[in-house]
Structure 1
Amino acid sequence: MPVAVGPYGQSQPTCFDRVKMGFVMGCAVGMAAGALFGTFSCLSSIQAYFSRIGMRGRELMGGIGKTMMQSGGTFGTFMAIGMGIRC
């Protein structure tokens, strides 16, 4: 099957390349949103209400990182699926 060539001689990205690009873009956006929401969530969460409020130090960084990875993976997966449907 011949590869489609653009107006300046470059070839168009394959469907797999588009799905990869969708995953990477979705992962970046999801991780940024996860950083914002994770920071707010970890700082404002009430851990043992009467002893302290929010997380500190290593616990805070772990919570933010976990939230970033979860939201990045989820949003990246949905963006990859969307790009796959568009191919």
Structure 2
Amino acid sequence: MSEPSVWTKRRMGALMGGGVGLTIGFLFGSWSILQNGAGPRGVLSTLSKTMLSSAATFSFFLAIGSVIRNDSPILEAAHLRLMAPAPAVRSRSEGFQLMRARWEEERRRESSRS
């Protein structure tokens, strides 16, 4: 099973932002109408304008945020590489012993292949 693409994540972010924006727009628009009145355009027009502008704003920013937070394998590998613990500090003699042990292991592998 593969991960969703960047465009799928963008669309999902936009849809979630639209839903959140419509809800927030309804709440704040209703509060504004109750507090200040509907104005010359009427209740429905004022409420719908508030809801749509809020939905467009939230949708735009959540779509961008979803793309930015895209956890692609390349970015994840780079992050793991950056967050890896620092190598242990060893003395020169320990380093030489490890190097000689690796060389011996490589020689054994080469001799077993032949």
Question: Could you say what secondary structure the match of 1:65 adopts?
Answer: helix
CA distance in 2: counterparts of 1:55 and 1:30, whole angstroms:
20
Post-superposition shift, 1:60? 0.5
**Counterpart code for 2:10:** V
Higher helix proportion (structure 1 or 2): 2
What aligned pairs does 1:1-87 form with structure 2 within 5 A after superposition? 10-45=1-36, 54-55=37-38, 59-87=42-70
- Which structure 1 residue ranges, 5 or more long, are not aligned? 1-9, 46-53
CA distance in 2: counterparts of 1:38 and 1:28, whole angstroms:
15
Post-superposition shift, 1:44? 1.2
What TM-score do the two structures reach when normalised by structure 2? 0.57
Aligned residues between the structures = 69
CA distance in 1: counterparts of 2:49 and 2:38, whole angstroms:
14
CA distance in 2: counterparts of 1:38 and 1:55, whole angstroms:
10
2:90 is matched with none
The 4+ residue runs of structure 1 with deviation greater than 6 A are none
RMSD: 1.5
Q: Which has the larger radius of gyration?
A: 2
- Which structure 2 residue ranges, 5 or more long, are not aligned? 71-114
CA distance in 2: counterparts of 1:34 and 1:60, whole angstroms:
13
Post-superposition shift, 1:77? 0.5
